[in-house]
C-alpha cells in the first residue's frame, strides 16, 4: 500500500485531499500545526477506510519542524505541498516577520520537501508530487503584495522540474494545482466575506479533481480544476498588463487605508490553524488574511 504525505492537513483543502487519498486506500502522513484537529481527522480516516494514518504536529515556518517533515517524506510515494499563507495587506504595511513566515510556508518549505522526496521517488521509479499554487501566480491579482510572487515560485518550480529531461523520462510526475476562490473554513477563520458564487469552487470538488489528476498515468503538469478558472488563468497570462491592472479587475492592496497598523507587530495566535491553504494566523490588529 502506498503512502502519501499531506501538509496543512488540519482542514479545508488539505483535509479534503487527505480524504480523497484515503478513499483510494493510501496510508497517510498528515502534517499540520493544529494538533487536535489533525488527530481527529486521522482517527476518523483510519476508522472509515481501514488505513494507517500518522500525524506530525509541525510548523513548517520553523526550520527544525520543516526538517522533521522532510525526513518523513523521504519514503513517501505521494507528496502534497498544501500548507501556505497569504497576507491581506500591502507590502510596505506588513511586518518583515510576517513576510518571512509567509515566504517560509509558500516558497522554502515546499521546495525543501520536494527536494527531500524527489531522489527516493526517482530511485524507486514511481511517485507523485502535487504543489498547491494559485491563480494569483499567473498574473497581478493581489497587487502590492508578495503573495502572487510567492505562489509563482511553486508554479515555476513545478514546470521547471516536470519538463526536465530527467523527469520526462521517469514515471515520477509533478503537478501544480492552480486554485481560484475555494469554499472552506478559510473565510470564517480570516473574517472575510465569501466570494461571489460564480467564482467559488467547493473544497471537496477541488480536492477530488486534484487527486484524480495525479492518479492519471500521465498527470498534467498544471491542473486548473474548473473551466471558469482555466479561462481566467489564460486571460491573466496573455492579456496586456494594462488591461489587467484597471481598477476593479484585481485586488490592489495599496488602495486600502492603512489605519492603525503597527508595521513591527508580529502575528497573533492562529484563529483557525494553518491546516488550510491560504491561512496563517489573523493579522495583527484584526486584518484578516485572504485566499485565492
Q: Which of 134-143, 165-174, 176-185 has the highest mean pLDDT?
A: 165-174
Asked about 11 being catalytic, the answer comes back as no
Query: For the chain, what is the mean pLDDT?
Result: 81
Strand, coil or helix: 178: strand
Q: CA-CA distance, 162 to 16, in Å (whole number)? A: 25
Catalytic pick among 11, 147, 163, 205: 147
What number is the average pLDDT over the span 175-194? 63
pLDDT, position 231: 61
Local structure of residue 196 (DSSP, 8 states): P
CATH topology of domain 3-232: Rossmann fold (3.40.50)
Helix (H) or strand (E) holding 129: strand 128-134
| CA-atom Rg of the chain in angstroms | 18
Local structure of residue 92 (DSSP, 8 states): G
CB-side neighbour CA atoms (13 Å) of 215: 15
Among candidates 101, 109, 91, which has minimal Cα distance to 157? 109
User: Residues 41-74: pLDDT tens digits?
Assistant: 999 999 999 999 999 999 999 999 999 999 999 9
Least confidently predicted of 34-38, 171-175, 225-229: 225-229
Question: ∠ CA(8), CA(161), CA(112), 5° rounding?
Answer: 40
Pull the grid cell for residue 47. Answer: 476508522
Pull the grid cell for residue 40. Answer: 481527529
H-assigned helices in the chain: 12-23, 35-49, 63-73, 96-103, 109-124, 147-162, 165-168, 186-190, 203-214, 227-238, 241-244
Q: CA-CA distance, 236 to 87, in Å (whole number)? A: 21
Q: Give the model's confidence band at 254: pLDDT under 50 very low, under 70 low, under 90 confident, else very high.
A: confident
- Phi first, then psi: what are they for 131, rounded to 5°? -105, 120
Q: Which of 18-27, 178-187, 266-275 has the highest mean pLDDT?
A: 18-27
The three-state (H, E, C) secondary structure of 142-168, written as one string:
EECCCHHHHHHHHHHHHHHHHCCHHHH
Task: Say if CB 97 and CB 266 are below 8 A apart.
Answer: yes
- Phi first, then psi: what are they for 222, rounded to 5°? -125, 125
What number is the average pLDDT over the span 227-236? 60
Domain residue spans of the chain: 3-232
Question: What count of other Cβ atoms lies within 10 Å of the Cβ of residue 159?
Answer: 14
Question: What count of other Cβ atoms lies within 10 Å of the Cβ of residue 62?
Answer: 14
What number is the average pLDDT over the span 238-263? 61
Amino acid at each position: 500500500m502506498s503512502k502519501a504525505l499531506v501538509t496543512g492537513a488540519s482542514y479545508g483543502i488539505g483535509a479534503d485531499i487527505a480524504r480523497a487519498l484515503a478513499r483510494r486506500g493510501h496510508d497517510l502522513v498528515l502534517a499540520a500545526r493544529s494538533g487536535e484537529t489533525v488527530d481527529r481527522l486521522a482517527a476518523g480516516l483510519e476508522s472509515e477506510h481501514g488505513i494507517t494514518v500518522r500525524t506530525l504536529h509541525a510548523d513548517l515556518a520553523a526550520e527544525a519542524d520543516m526538517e522533521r517533515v522532510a525526513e518523513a517524506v523521504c519514503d513517501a510515494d505521494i507528496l502534497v505541498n498544501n500548507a501556505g499563507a497569504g497576507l491581506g495587506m500591502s507590502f510596505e504595511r506588513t511586518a518583515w516577520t510576517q513576510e518571512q513566515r509567509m515566504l517560509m510556508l509558500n516558497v522554502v518549505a515546499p521546495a525543501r520537501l520536494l527536494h527531500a522526496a524527489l531522489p527516493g521517488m526517482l530511485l524507486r521509479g514511481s511517485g507523485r508530487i502535487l504543489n498547491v499554487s494559485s491563480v494569483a501566480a499567473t498574473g497581478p491579482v493581489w497587487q502590492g503584495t508578495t503573495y502572487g510572487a510567492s505562489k509563482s515560485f511553486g508554479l515555476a518550480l513545478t514546470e521547471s522540474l516536470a519538463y526536465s529531461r530527467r523527469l520526462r523520462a521517469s514515471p515520477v510526475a509533478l503537478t501544480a494545482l492552480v486554485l481560484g476562490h475555494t469554499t472552506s473554513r478559510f473565510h470564517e477563520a480570516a473574517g472575510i466575506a465569501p466570494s461571489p458564487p460564480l467564482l467559488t469552487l467547493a473544497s471537496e470538488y477541488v480536492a477530488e479533481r486534484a487527486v484524480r489528476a495525479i492518479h492519471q498515468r500521465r498527470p498534467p503538469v498544471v491542473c486548473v480544476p474548473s473551466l471558469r478558472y482555466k479561462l481566467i488563468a489564460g486571460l491573466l497570462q496573455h492579456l496586456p498588463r494594462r488591461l489587467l491592472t484597471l481598477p476593479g479587475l484585481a485586488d490592489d492592496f495599496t488602495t486600502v487605508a492603512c489605519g492603525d497598523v503597527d508595521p513591527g507587530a508580529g502575528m497573533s495566535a492562529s484563529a483557525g490553524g494553518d491546516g488550510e491553504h491560504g491561512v496563517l494566523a489573523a493579522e495583527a490588529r484584526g486584518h484578516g488574511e485572504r485566499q485565492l
